[in-house]
Homo-oligomer: A and B are copies of this chain.
């Protein structure tokens, strides 16, 4: 059993972890371990939305162009239909060196420069957290998301399996409440809306993969867990603002050939970590998800083949870039403008 916080980021806490060192988590989990030379990472979301089922030519062109450009240590595409009925595709890229990302972007700052077309829009959502500002959690050894850029996984960690674990895994939270500061603002220049979030904006990407499930387990995931998860995702998507969630997307990961995989994830922006915690631990929609997952895990035990992971990030405004062109007003952080 080891701490989720690596030795080189451990400091004397003024904010103690919630559980004592004698606490034993009910099941094993792991955190990504980055080389200590990695100080800051980049999580970049390139999104496009269109009302029609068939993408307009400019959208197809943009996606094809992005695909043709290298860059980043991990690239993934995922899709969903948003609450306004817009077909949305998001490509995610990660970097472990912000200077490399800046240099890449200088050569490839095209995403929000596409010409506006009716009923279609582009968005770029980038966060560049220093390493003490995010944490990752895995139920297994298959790396996803930013962790693909890591050296590998920790051993079994102590700080999970209870409410508040995410906070206890974020190194900066050893001495910082990570409270939101200020408000969200925006600036419009021509078609481009740039959003500056409040301080300590929070992002969670929380995923599941059921590729290797079969028989009863697959049936149980698809009929008992996934519908409850979807209801929670829908709540956040439609009514999230009431609980501090600026935006939620529930995406299906795409294969290289564009077909769907047995992987999905929720991606949501929050005013702050505490809002995320409060919803998670006490809102009926998430308590239902937690209960369904507990039932699933206790029924399946170590034989469970469902894979779970998440990454939780808390950033300062100058570690972000949010740009929207031609997007409807409920897209991403635009919704936080009220």
Q: Chain B contacts of A230 at CB under 8 A?
A: none
Q: Chain B contacts of A18 at CB under 8 A?
A: 18, 164
CB pair A282–B162 under 8 Å, yes or no, is: yes
Q: Chain B contacts of A281 at CB under 8 A?
A: 162-163, 281
Q: Chain B contacts of A14 at CB under 8 A?
A: 16
Q: Chain B contacts of A179 at CB under 8 A?
A: 20, 22
Q: In the complex, A288 Cα to B274 Cα: how many Å?
A: 23
The stretch from A100-108, A130-138, A289-297 touching chain B is: A289-297
CB pair A278–B20 under 8 Å, yes or no, is: no
Q: Chain B contacts of A164 at CB under 8 A?
A: 18, 163-164
- Determine how close the nearest CB of chain B comes to the CB of A242; give it in whole angstroms: 11
Q: Chain B contacts of A291 at CB under 8 A?
A: 284, 287-288, 291
Chain A contact residues: helix, strand, loop or mixed? loop
Q: In the complex, A290 Cα to B291 Cα: how many Å?
A: 10
A177 at the interface (CB under 8 A from B): yes
Q: In the complex, A282 Cα to B287 Cα: how many Å?
A: 10
Q: Chain B contacts of A294 at CB under 8 A?
A: 282, 284, 287
- Determine how close the nearest CB of chain B comes to the CB of A243; give it in whole angstroms: 10
Q: Chain B contacts of A295 at CB under 8 A?
A: 284
Q: Chain B contacts of A278 at CB under 8 A?
A: 19, 23, 162
A161 at the interface (CB under 8 A from B): yes
A26 at the interface (CB under 8 A from B): yes
A15 at the interface (CB under 8 A from B): yes
A188 at the interface (CB under 8 A from B): no
For chain A, residues 1 to 28, give those with C-beta under 8 angstroms from any C-beta of chain B. Answer: 14-16, 18-20, 22-23, 26
For the complex with contacts A20-B179, A23-B274, 15 further pairs of A-B residues with Cβ separation under 8 Å are: A14-B16, A18-B18, A18-B164, A19-B278, A20-B274, A22-B274, A161-B282, A162-B163, A162-B281, A162-B282, A163-B163, A284-B291, A284-B294, A284-B295, A287-B294
Which A residues contact B (CB, under 8 angstroms)? 14-16, 18-20, 22-23, 26, 161-164, 177, 179, 274, 278, 281-282, 284, 287-288, 290-291, 294-295, 298
A and B contact pairs by CB, cutoff 8 A, 21 listed:
A16-B16, A18-B18, A18-B164, A19-B274, A19-B278, A20-B177, A20-B179, A22-B274, A23-B278, A26-B282, A162-B163, A162-B278, A162-B281, A163-B163, A163-B164, A163-B282, A284-B291, A284-B295, A287-B290, A288-B291, A291-B291
